[in-house]
Structure 1
Amino acid sequence: MESFRYFNRDISWLTFNERVLMEAANEAVPLMERIRFLSIYSSNLDEFYRVRMPYLQKNAMQDAANNAFLEAEALVNRQLDEFGRILSKSIIPALSRLGFHFLYKEHISESIAAFAKHYFYTQIAGFLQPVYLNDKTSFFPENNQIYIVVVLELPNDREKIAIVNIPVPQLDRFVKIKQPDGEYIIFLEDLIRCNLGALFPDAIDIKAFNIKVTRDAELDLLDEDGEDMAEQVEKQLSKRDFGLATRMLYEPGLPLRHLQYIVNVFDLKKASLVEGGRYHNLKDLSSLPVASPAISYPAWPTAQHLEGFEEPETLFAALTRRDLMVHAPYQTYDTILRFFNEAAIDRSVQEIYTTMYRVAYDSKIAHALITAAKNGKKVTVLVELKARFDEANNIRWAKKMKTAGVKIIHSVNALKVHAKLALAKRKHETHAYLGLLATGNLNEGTARFYTDHILLTAHPAMLKEAEQLFGFLSKKKKPEKIDVMSFEHLLVAQFNLQNRFIELIDREIDHAKSGLPTGITIKLNNLEEEVLINKLYEASNAGIKVNLIVRSICRLVPGVPGQSENIRVKRIVDRYLEHGRVFIFHNNGQPEVFMGSADWMNRNIYRRIEVCFPIYHEDLKQQLIDILSLQWNDTVQAVWIDERLHNVAITANSDGVRSQEAIYQYLTGAVEHIRKTF
């Protein structure tokens, strides 16, 4: 068996976060958007420490030769240095030039100190609960909350340590202060630090240091039928913020003896101790009160017209004539909302089925499903309760829908349902099924900034297979070898998805051996699973050009002789989060195109129900081929991932292609202009 190389999963993900940081450093990006990229970087890193660092720490303890943990820590430290440089040397000076003076580690003038004192007593003091630390202290630092460690010098050479909470989100993280020479922005914790003497009036000297503790986010769910899934998840959610500490960030200058004392008192012996900057939770930078159209991306109004659908015709009537496709966020998501709204009131609709993985906070789709149930329709919704960090909101909506008469089903504990599909079953002679299948969540909130593709279709055989899958899911069990379901059109993880993709790659390999034209283009969020990676390596060795667009994790190593010399990988980061999954196989000039919910990750292939599906309508198939072509030809926001896992900038001429802008123009009518760029 051939020995192939793979990138480390977690180091690869950290290089994606580094790519986010590159956008924050890019002075061609509007200033507020650069600030948001810093916020995204910080938020991503917090999640990494909650979700992946516990795994890396455990592996490092079990295998001393495993250096991924140390490599990850070193990479994060380098990135944090760059983060601080971008913020202090580039972002803050740029804000000052606009009249926004961001006080970042800077001296506070007397006039601002006077305001700070007034603000402290009128707005902040009532939220502060200082606690003196000792060996019997029961104080528990909450996950990702900022605290001030206060070292107090008291009379008679006594010393005490106290901890003070920073009351966010009860109060805004940033306070704006108007002064004659402009507007000043100050951190809430700095306002508190200015006034610590009011909390500790007996102290002769006060020193203050910010800290933050990050905790493991994993839920410990049991695979038991006796306990309702929602109840079990709710119980675990109440414990999540009390999980094992994985990291403690502390401000430089905190004396070692005090650091060790805090570690002992808070039982942080297994946590990584990271000397960070003075300020933590910089994901809050997205709420910096400097928003202005002049320093944000120019508006791209959503395209309202959808080719193939003309009002006053109903959407359902249009679907009986042809398939439709929505490319969010470039095109209006109202079409998707309309699908559910029409299903709720259409007298011919008798049954509605849908999956919901991340429900919008004020979901119009969920409201339509509730209305449908109250209108006497049979409504079945699979709400995935194990969608990380969305569990509580999903539980809330599941309860609301269940109360209204919607049949709620949940996947078993060891299996997530990540498929994105909906089905309306009608009393109709020729078009009994209408459905939608998507690459992203049925969530109108994230649809504003996630790029996804949603197919709306009346294809009877494909939707009959979807109904069959919903029937299986309602049994609430894991697939077993005896569960034989025949899917001719759908590619369903746990059943035929992996094998079908292998067959499609093998067909390209056979064509290559016969001297026929070949090619594979795949766009994913994450690429990890070794069986499918090995098959792509095999395709490369057969001489097939493989073009991959992989946003985040990529374990495939491109450009290695004898392994992947015909494989190239690009990564795109821009104003929208690239989220669609698309698969194009050349097939000797008769291309086959698939979309779906499945990344090529171990979890997606082996531990989830995922659905991918073919695009049969020739115009829609060409649309996707054109869109992927624009993305592959991006020379502005794309980077190469090289054989060393580096993000390598693409050298562009003056006519460089920025794919998201080009796709927006393409979908809003400027087709000829776009095609001339190739």
Structure 2
Amino acid sequence: MTAHDMDALRYFNRDISWLSFNERVLMEAGNEAVPLMERIRFLSIYSSNLDEFYRVRMPYLQKISMQDASNNAYQQAEEIVDRQQNEYGRILGQSIVPALSRLGYHFCYKEGIPAPLRTFATHYFYTRIAGFLQPVYLNEKNIFFPENNQIYLVVILQLPQDREKIALVNIPTPNLDRFVKTKQPDGEYIVFLEDIIRYNLDHIFPDALNIASYSIKVTRDAELDLLDDDGEEVTDQMEKQLSKRDYGFASRLLHEPGLSLRHLQYIINLLELKKASVVEGGRYHNLKDLSSLPVASPSISYPDWPAVQHLDGMDEQTTLFQALTKKDMMVHAPYQTYDTILRFFNEAAIDRSVQEIFTTMYRVAHDSKIAHALISAAKNGKKVTVLVELKARFDEANNIRWAKKMKSAGVKIIHSVNALKVHAKLALVKRKHETHAYLGLLATGNLNEGTARFYTDHILLTAHPQMLGETELLFGFLSKKKKPEKTDALSFEHLLVAQFNLQKKFIELIDREIDNARKGLRTGITIKLNNLEEEVLIDKLYEASNAGIEINLIVRSICRLVPGVPGQSENIRIKRIVDRYLEHGRVFIFHNNGQPEVFMGSADWMNRNIYRRIEVCFPIYDEQLKKQLTDIIALQWDDTVQAVWIDSELRNVPVTTLPGGIRSQEAIYQHLSGTVEKFKRHSEK
């Protein structure tokens, strides 16, 4: 066995692991037990995920492969994507399209414009589309720059006197719907916008004797090049970089099959795409647009799960702040209403005792009610400090917009230094109060009421004075806009803060389980993460496995830990859950000889989270909330419907092929809403 093979056995490749996650998404699209519209949305999610992968990760893999010929991750990724794309086409063509047909929708996939629609297609072309088209002839004198992820038709024209021209025609999806639905006497038809354009190319190029067309798309590198020492204001610098993002290095040229090698090479040369990965795809690109397919019926979507009201024991005379001084609360989004979180900020905006408000905002909602409350608080005379993270990928422009709006209202805006992201999810209210000066919330996910509708997260609301005192200490440090250094005299006893004590504390917690195992005491580790990459912590889990500790991991996406390897990880099992909601919470449970310690927080175990970000994890002290959270994680571990095992070959292996069983997201919803007695009994085990 070579050194490379031994390393592969110890750690999965980060990017190949992510492709395994996207394959799990694709599996849901192919799952006929999932409602049809949801299957279509999973196809959309898969396509959107893959586009981001080509914008963010493939340029990196390509660069590494050029520097190290022995590193085959780039080639391996291309082969995996090719296989997945073939499965994607099979699911869409052989399963989704027939299912739509049975519902009365004729989805014209790969068939162009059928005879009954030809008159309609020409009329629609002239009345709705033609004014948005900007055909361009390609030649050495007319350099054209294809926009990022924009669909174009490469049109090959045979003209009189054996002349040939090549043109590009834009598909104006930023302005027009991708799918056109029309009702005809024999039923409802849905056609692609580009197929209507293809059908009418002879109206754009009337002199052509023969016309052939092929769709293409160029994907561009999304990385931003920010400097710490260029003297520009960070927002100005960020806005300049964002304006250039869609003009970055071309990482992929995706083209329809059938385009000749001669014409393909001509396009590559003329559009300056020589360094791009050239991928033969299907007839259609940007199938993330499938989420807007114009079909709708309750029968083909998930059943409605109304959010559970959360403010137990409160009446109209009791404020949330008053309730928090008596007992901690926890909100489990999206199962429970996010109104509790909105109320926290709204009460802070008008409560006369509130003097200061601090919060972090990583991805701000498009029409953020939280931001509006912070603006009102500032106008109401309160001192409001908000750390807006400008480097939240693909949300930078929206974050900048809100930062400017809040700043103009009197909110003090802090931005992290360029080389460091602040990913912690925190809010702190400081009041004129003798015994409860601090109220706060600490979360696993963004303070964003939009994503809270479909991201599973946990939010702790507390008046714990020591924990919130440390939160204020952290905000004080962040306001200095500096990178953490070993000389920084910040001490955290309750909070686990990346760059300070987070990794060290997790290692200590694992070491305690190892020590307990050696003493013959009861042990166990259960961890739920989005991503698991960082080798120091992975190695510590391997060490715990070798000490005989049973380790259960729920890892949604990237997972570099290889489970089930004798002498390395034979006591480690890993599950992945993909369902109607995106699993997003991070939870850490250490058995501690029957006195479990439970933590939540913002930090995945990735290099960026451990070494290059400010992350915060925190303990759950309230015994009732601790039990509630561990019950939820137990239901997820017991999932036999939507969970798969990640095995030692990085495959997604169904937990069971038998009907029935526990679907954890449904079970959690029923458990929290108290609608099914059996889930109450499960929590009492």
Measured against the shorter chain, the TM-score band is over 0.9
Partners in 1 of 2:577 and 2:373 — Cα distance? Answer: 35
Please say if 1:106 is aligned against 2:111. yes
In structure 2, the residue matched to 1:53 is 58
Secondary structure in structure 2 of the residue aligned to 1:452: strand
Residue 480 of structure 1 aligns with an amino acid whose one-letter code is E
CA contact under 8 A between 2:153 and 2:168: conserved in structure 1? yes
Please say if 1:81 is aligned against 2:83. no
In structure 1, the residue matched to 2:141 is 136
CA contact under 8 A between 2:150 and 2:218: conserved in structure 1? yes
In structure 2, the residue matched to 1:557 is 562
Secondary structure in structure 1 of the residue aligned to 2:10: coil
Q: Percent identity?
A: 81
Give, in angstroms, the shift of residue 307 of structure 1: 3.5
Q: How does 1:467-482 map to 2 (within 5 A)?
A: 467-482=472-487
1:131-187 Cα distance to aligned partner (Å, 9 max, x none)? 000012221100000000000000000000000000012000000011112110000
Give, in angstroms, the shift of residue 224 of structure 1: 1.8
Partners in 1 of 2:131 and 2:667 — Cα distance? Answer: 52
1:310-354 Cα distance to aligned partner (Å, 9 max, x none)? 443100000000000000000000000000000000000000000
CA contact under 8 A between 2:456 and 2:583: conserved in structure 1? yes
In structure 2, the residue matched to 1:416 is 421
Secondary structure in structure 2 of the residue aligned to 1:193: helix
Q: What is the TM-score when the length of structure 1 is the normalising length?
A: 0.99
Change (3 A) 1:311 1:221: same
In structure 2, the residue matched to 1:346 is 351
Please say if 1:394 is aligned against 2:399. yes
1:203-230 Cα distance to aligned partner (Å, 9 max, x none)? 0000000000000000000012621111
Please say if 1:499 is aligned against 2:504. yes
Partners in 1 of 2:49 and 2:73 — Cα distance? Answer: 18
In structure 2, the residue matched to 1:446 is 451
In structure 1, the residue matched to 2:377 is 372
RMSD: 1.2
In structure 2, the residue matched to 1:243 is 248
CA contact under 8 A between 2:112 and 2:199: conserved in structure 1? no
1:7-60 Cα distance to aligned partner (Å, 9 max, x none)? 000000000000000000000000000000000000000000000000000000
Give, in angstroms, the shift of residue 422 of structure 1: 0.2
CA contact under 8 A between 1:4 and 1:563: conserved in structure 2? no
CA contact under 8 A between 1:102 and 1:184: conserved in structure 2? yes
Partners in 2 of 1:146 and 1:14 — Cα distance? Answer: 24
Partners in 2 of 1:242 and 1:334 — Cα distance? Answer: 40
Give, in angstroms, the shift of residue 121 of structure 1: 0.3
Give, in angstroms, the shift of residue 117 of structure 1: 0.3
CA contact under 8 A between 2:577 and 2:583: conserved in structure 1? yes
Residue 359 of structure 1 aligns with an amino acid whose one-letter code is V
Give, in angstroms, the shift of residue 524 of structure 1: 0.1
Secondary structure in structure 2 of the residue aligned to 1:104: coil
Secondary structure in structure 1 of the residue aligned to 2:340: helix
Please say if 1:405 is aligned against 2:440. no
Please say if 1:618 is aligned against 2:623. yes
Please say if 1:545 is aligned against 2:550. yes
Q: Which of residues 520, 523, 527 is equivalent to 1:518?
A: 523
Change (3 A) 1:252 1:673: same
Q: Which of residues 574, 580, 589 is equivalent to 1:575?
A: 580
Please say if 1:643 is aligned against 2:648. yes
Change (3 A) 1:435 1:626: same
Please say if 1:665 is aligned against 2:665. no
Partners in 2 of 1:112 and 1:670 — Cα distance? Answer: 50
Secondary structure in structure 2 of the residue aligned to 1:20: helix
Secondary structure in structure 2 of the residue aligned to 1:156: coil
Q: Which runs of 5+ in 2 are unaligned?
A: 1-5
In structure 1, the residue matched to 2:3 is none
CA contact under 8 A between 2:674 and 2:680: conserved in structure 1? no
Q: Which of residues 284, 294, 316 is equivalent to 1:289?
A: 294
CA contact under 8 A between 2:153 and 2:170: conserved in structure 1? yes
1:375-402 Cα distance to aligned partner (Å, 9 max, x none)? 0000000000000000000000000000
1:549-604 Cα distance to aligned partner (Å, 9 max, x none)? 00000000000000000000000000000000000000000000000000000000
1:56-103 Cα distance to aligned partner (Å, 9 max, x none)? 000000000000000000000000000000000000000000000000
Secondary structure in structure 1 of the residue aligned to 2:94: helix
In structure 1, the residue matched to 2:533 is 528
Please say if 1:299 is aligned against 2:304. yes
Q: Which of residues 595, 607, 625 is equivalent to 1:602?
A: 607
In structure 1, the residue matched to 2:461 is 456
Partners in 1 of 2:572 and 2:336 — Cα distance? Answer: 32
Q: How does 1:104-253 map to 2 (within 5 A)?
A: 104-224=109-229, 226-253=231-258
Please say if 1:96 is aligned against 2:101. yes
CA contact under 8 A between 2:113 and 2:121: conserved in structure 1? no
Segment drifting more, 305-314 vs 490-499: 305-314
CA contact under 8 A between 1:306 and 1:326: conserved in structure 2? no
Partners in 2 of 1:112 and 1:435 — Cα distance? Answer: 60
Please say if 1:267 is aligned against 2:272. yes
In structure 2, the residue matched to 1:330 is 335
Secondary structure in structure 2 of the residue aligned to 1:10: helix
Change (3 A) 1:562 1:400: same
Q: Which of residues 278, 282, 285 is equivalent to 2:283?
A: 278
Give, in angstroms, the shift of residue 106 of structure 1: 1.1
Q: Which runs of 5+ in 1 are unaligned?
A: none
Secondary structure in structure 1 of the residue aligned to 2:603: coil
1:507-538 Cα distance to aligned partner (Å, 9 max, x none)? 00000000000000000000000000000000
Partners in 1 of 2:455 and 2:657 — Cα distance? Answer: 26
Partners in 1 of 2:557 and 2:303 — Cα distance? Answer: 26
Give, in angstroms, the shift of residue 308 of structure 1: 5.0
Secondary structure in structure 2 of the residue aligned to 1:164: strand
CA contact under 8 A between 1:306 and 1:331: conserved in structure 2? no
Residue 459 of structure 1 aligns with an amino acid whose one-letter code is H
Change (3 A) 1:526 1:415: same
Give, in angstroms, the shift of residue 653 of structure 1: 4.5
Secondary structure in structure 2 of the residue aligned to 1:46: helix
Give, in angstroms, the shift of residue 655 of structure 1: 4.2
Residue 90 of structure 2 aligns with an amino acid whose one-letter code is R
Residue 510 of structure 2 aligns with an amino acid whose one-letter code is I
1:343-380 Cα distance to aligned partner (Å, 9 max, x none)? 00000000000000000000000000000000000000
Segment drifting more, 651-660 vs 582-591: 651-660
Partners in 2 of 1:379 and 1:528 — Cα distance? Answer: 36
Give, in angstroms, the shift of residue 291 of structure 1: 1.6
Change (3 A) 1:653 1:89: closer
Segment drifting more, 131-140 vs 158-167: 131-140
Please say if 1:584 is aligned against 2:570. no
Give, in angstroms, the shift of residue 674 of structure 1: 1.0
Segment drifting more, 493-502 vs 645-654: 645-654
Secondary structure in structure 2 of the residue aligned to 1:226: coil
Residue 673 of structure 1 aligns with an amino acid whose one-letter code is K
Partners in 1 of 2:273 and 2:422 — Cα distance? Answer: 35
